[in-house]
């Protein structure tokens, strides 16, 4: 399964490899809005491909084991609608008073990103219908969820702080040929595509010898390595300084 997922991940990174050359260059060097629009088109094509491919999924993937009743669905929609109305009125007032800044969006989004997952996970853990085995799996999932959040917080610096570093502190020529700093974003997916088949083969080879590390160990290895990469990054930071 892990080997198959690795091959699937190559497909994602093929798009991630091509995008900076096209979208990044157009957005940074020519027209930012056009570059952003091209990204939206690419995402739309990806969604269409996904929807087209859902016919190959197991029918079980569409079955909801414990669906909302009609009354529960109505209650949820009512609460969401009222919440959206309150937010719209509040932000309309903020804009009308001329005090709106970016923090009016960033701070609530940050808080929501923390509060909503915690609320959902707490509600699941308090669900009396879960068996002891399911409760145990949920506990394991929560640790995975936290570790994943930490991993992506570090990983996604590549598209933000590291990209700004590349733009201002990193050479933009190779053998006399200039290129956009956005091209650095293609390096990570390039390495993923190059190494993914190697690791897919490695997991299968170790599995045959009954020595394949479990998913938790693999996850921990990834988390340690992505953290260690920033210690390596201290070297070019000091050189640039």
What share of the chain has pLDDT > 70, as a percent?
A: 100
pLDDT at 169: 86
pLDDT at 72: 92
Q: What is the mean pLDDT of the chain?
A: 89
- Has residue 216 got a pLDDT over 80? yes
CA distance linking residue 54 with residue 124, whole number of Å: 27
Confidence of residue 38 (pLDDT cuts 50, 70, 90): very high
Element (H, E) at 173: strand 173-174
CA 42 vs. chain centroid, Å, equals 16
Nearest to 46 by CA among 82, 19, 80, 83: 19
- The 10s digit of each residue's pLDDT in 110-140 is 999 999 999 999 999 998 888 999 999 999 9
- Has residue 239 got a pLDDT over 90? no
Give the angle 6-184-169 at the CA atoms, nearest 5°. Answer: 140
Partnered with residue 177 across adjacent β-strands are 174
CA distance linking residue 148 with residue 142, whole number of Å: 10
CA 70 vs. chain centroid, Å, equals 33
User: Within 13 Å and on the Cβ side, how many CA atoms surround 230?
Assistant: 13
The answer for residues whose C-beta is within 8 angstroms of residue 161's C-beta and 6 or more apart is none
pLDDT at 97: 92
């Amino acid at each position: 399964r892990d080997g198959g997922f690795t091959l699937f991940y190559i497909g994602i990174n093929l798009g991630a490899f091509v995008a900076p050359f096209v979208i990044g260059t157009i957005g940074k060097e020519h027209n930012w809005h056009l570059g952003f629009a091209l990204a939206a088109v690419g995402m739309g094509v990806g969604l269409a491909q996904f929807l087209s491919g859902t016919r190959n999924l197991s029918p079980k993937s569409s079955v909801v084991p414990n669906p909302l009743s009609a009354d529960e669905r109505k209650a949820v929609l009512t609460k969401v609608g009222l919440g959206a109305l309150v937010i719209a009125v509040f932000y309309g007032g903020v804009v009308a008073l001329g005090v709106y800044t970016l923090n009016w969006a960033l701070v609530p989004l940050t808080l929501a990103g923390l509060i909503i997952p915690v609320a959902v996970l707490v509600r699941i853990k308090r669900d009396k219908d879960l068996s002891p085995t399911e409760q145990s799996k949920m506990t394991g999932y929560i640790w995975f969820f936290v570790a994943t959040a930490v991993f992506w917080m570090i990983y996604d610096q590549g598209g933000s702080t590291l990209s700004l570093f590349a733009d201002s502190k990193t050479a933009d020529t190779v053998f006399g040929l200039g290129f956009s700093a956005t091209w650095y974003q293609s390096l990570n997916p390039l390495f993923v595509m190059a190494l993914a088949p190697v690791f897919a083969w490695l997991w299968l080879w170790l599995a045959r010898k009954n020595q394949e590390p479990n998913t938790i160990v693999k996850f921990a290895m990834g988390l340690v390595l992505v953290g260690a990469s920033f210690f390596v990054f201290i070297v070019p930071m000091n050189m640039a300084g």
